[in-house]
Amino acid sequence: MFFIKTKFINKEIKYDGSQLKSHYIFKEFNILGNSLIAFIGPCEVNLDKMVDLLDVKRKEKIYSERMLHFLGEFFNLDLEKGIYLQRTLITLIKEKLEEKIKQRIIRKGDDLFIENKKLSVSIATLSLVSTLIHIGLNISSFNTPVPTISLDDLKVNPKNFAKALFNNFKQELESIYLASCKVRGV
């Protein structure tokens, strides 16, 4: 079964890209194995820490004064399956937010937009032993390098949202696993 541990981290953490490495969640929070954590803090990823080579080539800065961050590490997945998992998580975020705010959200790949304003940043990559995912949702839309919208603008409590999303994500993964168990081979 695909087992995952989740935890909301109550201390503020500045996400700068250095957290996107194998066993960061275990080393910092003593959570070993498939895991997804959430925390709140600023986001500033300089070019030397970016793993998205298109962003590096375009010299696109990633910055937000305050974000809700989701950081995941998953073992025994190749990059393609990791991206499927990332897109599943982004889709669940979209659905959960739409249900809450009663407004349409556009998903373009792994990014979310409302009225051409960017709500999220996201990346999936590989370490030597795991697939890593980061998703950041703006809590503040002040001083961002592109037009953004935020959870504050949408009147969504970040901590409550993260905890609800953990449950949805676990249920989705369990449902996928059970779907693979209930069929007979042909």
Residue bearing tokens 């959200």 = 105
Q: Which domain holds residue 160?
A: 5-181
**Structural tokens at position 80:** 């393609």
Task: Decide if 47 is inside a domain.
Answer: yes
pLDDT tens column, 37-69: 999 999 999 888 889 888 888 888 899 999 999
> What's the CATH number where 175 sits?
3.30.930.10
152 lies in some domain: yes
Give the span between the Cα atoms of 182 and 58, in whole angstroms.
46
Residue type, 155: K
Does 41 fall in a domain? Answer: yes
Cα 9 versus chain centre, distance: 14
Residue 186 lies in a domain: no
Cross-strand partners of 63 = 44
Domain for residue 118, yes or no?
yes
Task: Indicate the number of domains in the chain.
Answer: 1
pLDDT tens digit sequence for 150-181: 999 999 999 999 999 999 999 999 999 899 89
Mean pLDDT, rounded, for 134-150: 95
100 falls within a domain: yes
